[in-house]
Amino acid sequence: MMNIIKAMSKLIQTPFITLCLFFVCLSQCSIAYSLGSTNSKSLHHCNFPAIFNFGDSNSDTGGLSAAFGQAGPPSGMTYFHHPAGRYSDGRLIVDFIAKKVGVEYLSAYLDSVGSNFSRGANFATAGSTIRPQNTTLRQAGGFSPFSLDVQFTQFNDFHRRSQLFRNKGGVYETMLPRAEYFSQALYTFDIGQNDLAAGYFHNMTIDQVRAYVPDVLAQFKTIVKYVYGQGGRSFWIHNTGPVGCLPYIMDLPHARDAPLDKAGCKIPYNEVAKFFNRGLKETVSQLRKELHSAAITYVDVYSVKYHLISQATKHGFEEPLRACCGHGGKYNYNLHVGCGGKVKIKGKEVMIAKPCKNPAVRISWDGVHYTEAANKWIFDKIVDGSFSDPPIPLNMACHKNL
Ligand X SMILES: *[C@@H]1O[C@H](CO)[C@@H](O)[C@H](O)[C@H]1NC(C)=O
Q: Please identify every residue annotated as catalytic.
A: 57, 366, 369
Pairing of strands 186-190, 51-55: parallel
* Segment contacting ligand X by CB under 6 A, of 82-90, 131-139, 352-360, 387-395: 131-139
Residues 196 and 128: their CA atoms lie apart, in Å, by 11
- Interior/surface letters 119-157, b for 16+ CB within 10 angstroms, e for the rest: bbbbbbbbbbbbbebeeeebeebebbbbbbbebbebbee
Nearest distance in Å: CB 200, ligand X: 9
Q: Which residues contact 179 (CB under 8 A, 6 or more apart)?
A: 163, 166
Select 15 or 114, whichever has its Cβ closest to ligand X. 114
Q: Which of 202, 221, 225, 288 binds ligand X (CB under 6 A)?
A: 202
- Residue 118 found at the interface with ligand X (CB under 6 A): yes
Pairing of strands 342-345, 348-351: antiparallel
Q: Are 360 and 88 in contact (CB under 8 A)?
A: no
Select 117 or 317, whichever has its Cβ closest to ligand X. 117
Q: Which residues contact 76 (CB under 8 A, 6 or more apart)?
A: 82, 83, 84, 86, 88, 89, 90
- Residue 140 found at the interface with ligand X (CB under 6 A): yes
- Residue 134 found at the interface with ligand X (CB under 6 A): yes
Residues 214 and 6: their CA atoms lie apart, in Å, by 59
Pairing of strands 234-238, 342-345: unpaired
Q: Which of 174, 208, 222, 286 binds ligand X (CB under 6 A)?
A: 174
Nearest distance in Å: CB 138, ligand X: 9
Select 38 or 136, whichever has its Cβ closest to ligand X. 136
Nearest distance in Å: CB 164, ligand X: 18
* Segment contacting ligand X by CB under 6 A, of 43-51, 90-98, 157-165, 171-179: 171-179
- Residue 115 found at the interface with ligand X (CB under 6 A): no
Backbone angles phi, psi at 8, to 5 degrees: -60, -45
Residues 237-266 that bind ligand X (CB under 6 A): 253
Nearest distance in Å: CB 207, ligand X: 16
Nearest distance in Å: CB 256, ligand X: 9
Reference 150, options 133, 137, 164; nearest CA is: 133
Select 105 or 236, whichever has its Cβ closest to ligand X. 105
DSSP per position, 238-276: E----GGGSHHHHTSGGGTTPPB-TTS-BHHHHHHHHHH
* Segment contacting ligand X by CB under 6 A, of 61-69, 134-142, 279-287, 357-365: 134-142
Select 14 or 134, whichever has its Cβ closest to ligand X. 134
Interface with ligand X: number of residues (CB under 6 A): 14
Q: Which residues contact 219 (CB under 8 A, 6 or more apart)?
A: 130, 131, 148, 149
- Residue 225 found at the interface with ligand X (CB under 6 A): no
CA-CA distances (angstroms) from residue 283 to 196, 221, 290? Answer: 17, 7, 11
Select 30 or 174, whichever has its Cβ closest to ligand X. 174
* Segment contacting ligand X by CB under 6 A, of 48-56, 84-92, 132-140, 155-163: 132-140
DSSP per position, 112-126: -SS---TTEEE---T
Select 3 or 136, whichever has its Cβ closest to ligand X. 136
Nearest distance in Å: CB 151, ligand X: 21
- Residue 271 found at the interface with ligand X (CB under 6 A): no
- Residue 136 found at the interface with ligand X (CB under 6 A): yes
Pairing of strands 388-389, 295-299: antiparallel
* Separation of first and last alpha carbons in the chain: 40
Backbone angles phi, psi at 97, to 5 degrees: -65, -45
Nearest distance in Å: CB 114, ligand X: 9
Query: Interface with ligand X by CB under 6 A: which residues?
Result: 104, 116, 118-119, 134, 136-137, 140, 171, 174-175, 202-203, 253
